[in-house]
């Protein structure tokens, strides 16, 4: 039935629909007008310009419609970026780098929106983990869009305006992607969550897949094969399934002499049930920048230990790289696992942003690894990630990004920064309140590095974090906080930016820096006294780890530790 907004009768009908939609008995399948469907979205005015203006439908149909519009917009943006890159002779190196990042990120958005459209086609029921999968993809699309804009604005000195003429298309795309996320959460996520006040279901430990009978295992010798079997140490998961295994040794005794060559030889689009492509990197210092592309899925990289197997690079923003592309190791392929190695960026504090590891890989896992740099050491960029028993060394914003990420039993070492700088452990980048992203630090230790501890006279303040974006979300719980952390705990980004929209929390911490009596009084800061609230930031709740971590062989704690 068409709704004519100019008549008194239609106003009554619209009001009736609104009341009906808001009542307890209303469901996402209840037909409502487009205007009513837009009421509870993050931008109702924009929403009404997107949805068809006449007729009624349900939230599922509106959600699918917005995803289709988003996919068309993403495809159009890829073409626009290609157009700019075709004129690269007139652009600076920094502008070209930013555009190349945008091209990669926008192509990922096309993939993610295509997968979302397929998942939502013809269904009104999505339960975890499927609903979490889609919300994760839609959250990552917004993150990719923001990263593209950040890079373009950083290179704006060589452009006619901030973003070089792409700022408006990016802004419009962001609004459209936000609408898709908003309609999705209203239609599908409500059916995936437990009733209000109830605990989320415990997903438990799924038995890992066993290796198929045709799996090739001939490239490890007996000792190395035993090493693979020991990867489940401390964990109940059992042997990790291996699809193929290769070795990297600088001296030439392995299958490859560089890590990059071993990655390039990986099979494409493996799935978890087929086992991992295992790259055993023997001890040595590998001076190279390594990228694991999106088609290289379920790659497992194992070294001989922290400080023994080292991958090192020195890219930085000062030297002309984008922050996104400065990473020594960058990972996109789903299901990536790294163990027993150091990833380092040696650019130094004077070179500012210089990333050691960037993970944009869903279901990525890092166990007993060390990440070493100064500013922006570890870029937990997007999607779902888990870190266990790792070390992170840095100064300014040295864990940053907008993934849904949990750190367990890790140690964060704040290093000696440049004169006048403060250390900030985290800078979380959530831009939308409906993104299922955030940084959870559980059962970890926060300490000064030896050089910082040895320079007690050096006036360095260290903070748990500061809000990089509007809805920054970080929780520190069940951790040991050393005396290096300032009594206020958290540092503002600029003035009162995001202080009432962020979500920062602490729960059941210990150590000389854990006293919350003098913490900031921001509206968005919380001291959690209830384990039920803290439980929202555990492995099971934050990343649904029980569904995918067991097959990695990496130990993990599902819920709260105490």
CA distance 81 to 408: 39
pLDDT over threshold 70, residue 257: yes
Indicate the Cα dihedral angle 120, 126, 131, 135, nearest 10°.
Answer: 30
Quick one: average pLDDT of 405-434? Answer: 96
3 state SS of 281:
strand
In the chain, % helix, strand, coil (3-state, to 5) comes to: 35, 20, 45
pLDDT over threshold 60, residue 214: no
pLDDT over threshold 60, residue 209: no
Mean pLDDT comparison of 164-168, 202-206, 231-235, 376-380, highest-scoring range: 376-380
User: Rounded to whole angstroms, what are the CA distances from 273 to 242, 333, 334, 486?
Assistant: 10, 15, 13, 47
Count of Cβ atoms closer than 10 Å to residue 524 Cβ: 18
Quick one: average pLDDT of 447-465? Answer: 88
One-character DSSP codes across 129-153: THHHHHHHHHHHHHHHHHHHHHHHH
What does the pLDDT look like over 327-370, one tens digit per residue? 999 999 999 999 999 999 999 999 999 999 999 999 999 999 99
Q: Which residues contact 112 (CB under 8 A, 6 or more apart)?
A: 137, 138, 140, 141
Quick one: average pLDDT of 97-105? Answer: 96
Among the ranges given (43-57, 454-468, 477-491, 509-523), the one the predictor scored with the smallest mean pLDDT? 454-468
Q: List, by residue number, the catalytic residues.
A: 397
* Six token digits for residue 279: 């790259």
Q: Do the Cβ atoms of 407 and 441 come closer than 8 Å?
A: yes
pLDDT over threshold 50, residue 206: no
Provide the pLDDT for residue 29.
86
Q: Do the Cβ atoms of 383 and 361 come closer than 8 Å?
A: yes
pLDDT over threshold 70, residue 11: no
Provide the pLDDT for residue 240.
86
Which residue in the block uniquely carries the two structure tokens 């009001």? 15
Quick one: average pLDDT of 507-515? Answer: 97
CA distance 69 to 242: 40
pLDDT over threshold 90, residue 105: yes
Cis bond leading into 129, ω under 30°?
yes
CA distance 20 to 36: 10
The closest of 348, 352, 343, 357 to 314, measured between CA atoms, is: 348
Provide the pLDDT for residue 227.
52
* Six token digits for residue 5: 């907004």
Give the model's confidence band at 26: pLDDT under 50 very low, under 70 low, under 90 confident, else very high: low
Per cent of the chain over pLDDT 90 is 74
What does the pLDDT look like over 174-193, one tens digit per residue? 999 999 999 999 999 865 54
Tell me the pLDDT of the chain averaged across its residues: 87
Provide the pLDDT for residue 219.
38
Give the model's confidence band at 21: pLDDT under 50 very low, under 70 low, under 90 confident, else very high: very low
Q: Do the Cβ atoms of 364 and 337 come closer than 8 Å?
A: yes
Give the model's confidence band at 272: pLDDT under 50 very low, under 70 low, under 90 confident, else very high: confident
Among the ranges given (155-159, 353-357, 453-457), the one the predictor scored with the smallest mean pLDDT? 155-159
Better-scored residue on pLDDT, 464 or 235: 464
pLDDT over threshold 80, residue 228: no
pTM score, whole prediction: 0.88
Provide the pLDDT for residue 91.
83
Burial of 168 (0-12, 13-18, 19+ CB in 10 A): exposed
* Six token digits for residue 379: 């870029």
3 state SS of 84:
helix
- Domains (range + CATH), the chain: 34-188 (1.20.140.40), 231-552 (2.160.20.10)
């Amino acid at each position: 039935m068409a709704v004519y907004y100019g008549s008194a009768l239609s106003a009554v009908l619209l009001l009736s629909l609104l009341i009906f939609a808001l009542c307890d008995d209303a469901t996402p399948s209840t037909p409502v007008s487009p205007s009513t469907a837009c009421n509870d979205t993050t931008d109702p005015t924009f929403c009404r310009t997107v949805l068809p203006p006449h007729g009624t439908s349900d939230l599922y149909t509106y959600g699918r419609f917005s995803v289709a519009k988003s996919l068309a917009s993403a495809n159009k943006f890829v073409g626009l970026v290609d157009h700019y890159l075709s004129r690269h002779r007139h652009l600076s190196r920094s502008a070209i780098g930013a555009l190349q990042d945008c091209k990669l990120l926008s192509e990922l958005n096309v993939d993610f929106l295509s997968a979302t459209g397929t998942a939502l086609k013809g269904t009104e029921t999505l339960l975890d983990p499927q609903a979490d999968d889609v919300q994760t993809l839609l959250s990552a699309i917004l993150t990719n869009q923001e990263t593209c804009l950040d890079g373009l604005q950083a290179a704006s000195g060589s452009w006619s305006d901030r973003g070089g003429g792409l700022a408006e298309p990016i802004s419009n795309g962001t609004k459209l992607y936000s609408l898709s996320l908003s309609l999705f959460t209203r239609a599908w996520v409500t059916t995936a969550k437990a009733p209000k006040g109830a605990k989320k279901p415990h997903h438990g430990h799924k038995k890992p897949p066993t290796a198929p009978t045709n799996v090739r295992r001939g490239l490890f010798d007996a000792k190395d094969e035993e090493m693979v079997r020991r990867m489940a140490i401390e964990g109940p998961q059992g042997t990790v399934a291996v699809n193929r295994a290769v070795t990297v040794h600088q001296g030439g005794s392995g299958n490859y002499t560089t890590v990059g060559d071993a990655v390039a030889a990986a099979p494409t689009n493996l799935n978890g049930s087929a086992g991992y492509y295992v790259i055993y990197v023997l001890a040595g210092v590998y001076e190279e920048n390594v990228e694991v592309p999106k088609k290289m899925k379920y790659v497992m990289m194992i070294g001989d230990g922290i400080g023994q197997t080292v991958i090192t690079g020195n890219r930085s923003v000062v030297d002309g790289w984008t922050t996104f592309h400065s990473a020594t190791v960058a990972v996109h392929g789903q299901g990536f696992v790294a163990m027993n190695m150091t990833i380092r960026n040696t650019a130094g504090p004077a070179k500012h942003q210089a990333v050691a590891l960037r993970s944009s890989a869903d279901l990525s896992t890092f166990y007993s690894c060390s990440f070493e740099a100064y500013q922006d050491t570890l870029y937990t960029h997007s999607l779902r990630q888990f870190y266990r028993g790792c070390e992170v060394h840095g100064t300014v914003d040295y864990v940053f990004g907008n993934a849904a990420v949990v750190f367990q039993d890790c140690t964060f070492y704040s290093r000696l920064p440049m004169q006048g700088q403060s250390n900030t452990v985290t800078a979380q980048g959530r831009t939308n309140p409906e993104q299922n992203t955030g940084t959870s630090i559980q059962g970890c230790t926060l300490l000064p590095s030896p050089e910082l501890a040895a320079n007690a006279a050096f006036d360095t303040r260290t903070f748990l974090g500061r809000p990089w974006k509007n809805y920054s979300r970080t929780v520190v719980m069940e951790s040991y906080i050393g005396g290096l952390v300032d009594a206020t705990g958290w540092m503002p980004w600029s003035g009162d930016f995001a202080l009432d929209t962020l979500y920062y929390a602490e729960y059941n911490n210990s150590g000389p820096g854990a006293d919350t009596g003098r913490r900031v009084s921001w509206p968005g800061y919380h001291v959690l006294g209830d384990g039920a609230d803290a439980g929202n930031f555990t492995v099971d709740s934050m990343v649904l780890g029980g569904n995918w971590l067991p097959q990695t062989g990496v130990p993990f704690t599902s819920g709260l530790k105490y």
